[in-house]
Structure 1
């Protein structure tokens, strides 16, 4: 197998050698001795910097894009207990080959080990994430997520003077790459051997669990802590020196109160490790982790005490309403809530009641409908407002799954009347429910587009600089393509994460019919893509711009139809949209979330515009790699998200704008060509018998060119008259009932030309 070696961590030029597993076993079980400059050893101890290696076949320099294949699986098992490492015993029983050695920070019972396992074949870079995930499921031991980095460098075994090194290795079978890939694709568990006993998988051992923990923190953290949680989960530094301890206390309190109490410490450490590593903590990362765990454990004690009190109060409230059978019976059933936040399970206190001799009754009020639909366990989170589509959604409610939106108010009213709330007096009419539904849904608003983008994790491999060339087969000015490609992706991220921000440019894909230009945009935007026809003067177009992420102007019909170039530019440049939503009582003003894109088969499609063409970013495409787009879609957006958060601008500099202007100007119509075609088509689509012998200029403007009467002016009249002359029309003065007007005589060739049938409706070309 091929392995890369380096002189030290500063060496970026790999020396790739062919080695055997027995040679590697000997290498990984022999420790060199180093002298630490102080005691205890600092986290970034300079003594451990020495000979290093990387389990890859790589070319040129140490960069992810230069990795040809992964040849060994490596997992760093840092700061684990003996209990957490126990599943490793199954590897030997399963007959696997492996080498296991201590690293520089190894101080039992705080174990720091590195596990190396041979593979049945070299793993392609694109296969590695799936292989690694499946291998972690096999190991059932939490591993440092940094080991997923393709070109990561590892020190050869090293132990400080006075520390006892550990190493063992076995011969046996390698990890079966194809078996791991198959299990990852099928979503099936992997077992070490048929006879190996099953054990519960550690929550930290799969990416899915880590994502779930992050989602819980984002969902349940109180508002003032959400920015901190977002920063930490993106792997950004905790805080500058001077405020680190306070911020760490705030973070670990949120973690303790928002995550299940039985979440393993190792899972939390792995979740937060990128943030810890990025933080300039004076005593080093390991000390930071130790302090974080202390604060976590203290916060968990407070949570346990608070939840016990919550449980008692909760049961008493249900007994007061005479429905003690519905009370929660254990603290694990309580809704997670951040420290200092109102208890969501005390919602019954908000119910408006009155007393009779026999019992406590509920008032039949909208306030009680609102309280139940928002807070009751059966309804909590069931009615949601989608911030992208602007629609009310129903999910996980006590109603049947196929309830139609127009029947929802009646179905909920019937549910109330048949429930315990109805027995206690809450029997609303459908009209009363209808008044409350949207208010409740707004309280449960969610943003699936933001959740998707912020949940992505970039693998560190640069892709978006060559996005247009690599995935869309773009040709032409390379520097220009590598400027606008990443800027378009980042602008789309900006509109998603910062609605209403300034984005006044349109990426246009040019190419022959059947190239799948629209499909490319559909893959990138997923469910948030629309190619519905746009009419910039229609309120529906304002609604479309507020409900989708990528809005296509298919075959640039919007550009061609636009009679007023300035109105089109104003629509493209708009930062917010004003429209009346379906069944809405008033117009709403929403920040624009979409980016506009175009597709065309033509070479000249931009209307003549003396003020310039800087808003249009045309790209000539030769081939589109649909398979690669599907495979790398998440990583393209993940990289764009990272660069957006780093502050990279998505607009052009003055020099870049001049280059873009020149590119777009090449696509503008030569004077009057568009009008010539439109006038000819207008006439030839009539039967020869119906064609007029002469027409006034106003009729040509309105019917052939779509110019409203109110937008005609002297300049437009002159331009249309020039086109008519070029086509062979001649003008004369006509007198009707004493009224003189100028008309244009249609040339004989156009009066007698064969009728042109409109194109048959069919599939729109991509």
Structure 2
């Protein structure tokens, strides 16, 4: 029958064109289905346009069922979403529509449908086997909203009952049920009808039940369940059978048995039906209760006329011939087939996993028999890395899967092997992910609650014993060495870096804070030097986390301003990774103190006072430390992941100008303090400070002082350096007026002139217009001011003179060298005005 113009108008003018999810495939035999979204109007158009096949209707009805299946298989759809694209019973994520097969209707069936679904949106189209006097129709009812797997069947049966449940195919209510696209023989009649109305509200349909979860309250056809229910009740619940029988039935359903052991004896027919390949009929094996039972209508199959569970189904197929001469009254458990079956499944992993009583496991499990999501991939390794489940709670499916991985002895007991310990540590929710190596502190630590009483985060010797007792008590696994070796390996696999995790979690809000932080909290002078040094030190702290051992040999030092809360500031800024216990810098204890510490505080620079300048310079310059930890077995290399944060109330804390470049002094002034650490340095502010530093690091901000600030830094460093004994002499020399003969004098004569002029003579020279020098080099100061031989000046002496010049102030390095008489070309300093 052609589609009427009125029907076309309804499709085109549908008011409620909701988007629906369906899974489609080009054939019923397709293994991977595709989830697609489609508008209801587009789906209706698709359903209204059948495929015309080449055979006559009378030819079609004479074909075998298998041949008919091939003819009408023009592709189809499932009215919902399929997980992983597999059309399996438990793979339906949700249903977006009802799809009903009406195979036994009478001439008034379409009227029945119209009456039952009056006011709703739906479509009806005929099957390939339909004819006017024997209607076979498919009813498609889109839902107002998607429904879960367990909600679908009671809704579908409720609507089927409204129409005529006796006319329905008995398997039409399965959520994974496929519907072929419309097809019709070349001379056959095709029926299509569509109505535009409200979408069916699934909640309203469920509310029509007193308890929609009660399966036996659902509408059923008169003969649908009676026989099967009687046989199943007589046999008892297969899952509750004792020992290996119950374990096997819990591990496998009928379809699993066929797929694993009998693929050459059975062929999938449709839905829950299989065809016995050695028989003469098609689809005679019918599965019930989600595959717990199977009833065979095949006259020649090993289970013909019997309702069997998975264990007996496989037993009779593999070993039933052994019972040929056994008297009928002999119990099944005394038959040869039973003995062989027990031996056959003894080493089966999935069966062995079910031997474990889940109620006796040391963690809670929930029933996931109706869950529609797959917890595991077929390609997963034996160690499960899914961490979506809460601690001490897991699904029965999860537990059974990993328990099946454990090797067992002939009695079914878990073997005490290192691999088994690893499997348990990786999957038992009480232990999984709970022990890890902290890559920052190089310690084994505890991440989460353990099943024994303890406090603190470090894994202790007592935890070794507690773990061994736990594994023995619940799994029967013993062997301290095997257990500890497995623990060490798992902890390493669970390694994490807490500071990286912290920094990675931060997102900067774009507000600059770092360059003003020391001004606000410590009253530091707001200069380019302070702003730059602040950013450098914070960025260097981040760089040392992402790039341990990166070259950065400078400590920031907060000077003066007693009572500003400098130690509190550093400690809180360190987020638990600060350390103020460094006592010395010249022994192994100093190196150990750096491990697991991010911000090393040097209060009052006490650790530096106990060592000579060369030792301090060596300590700060190191990028890695190599030593053997206390109680450790081997020497190892530890890359520096820390920065140094000093404080001192001594305004001359620097004692030797030769190592000053390794310090960035920040002068502090309590009177200029604007914010207090204990009040304003909140966790939120700290997070944003480090987020800004991380952003600067990612943008490539340099952690080295720019050349244009070198001179400023030297002056600041000199400001806090203990005055050298030569400073007064050099200061006087620099202000000494130069006589007219000065340029013609030798260095020795100049030294004598400088040393023996009286104050009155100097005043007279100034009065007569003598000027002071505008530039000077270290060689002049060494020979003329200090009166020493030039060939005895060392590099250390030159540095000391330079430091003195910087302490005096008012002088800056010239950018180029210049000739200074007998001293030749020298680097020099220029007077600043």
Same fold (TM over 0.5): no
Q: Whose RCO is larger (CA < 8 A, sep 6+)? A: 1
Larger Rg over CA atoms: 2
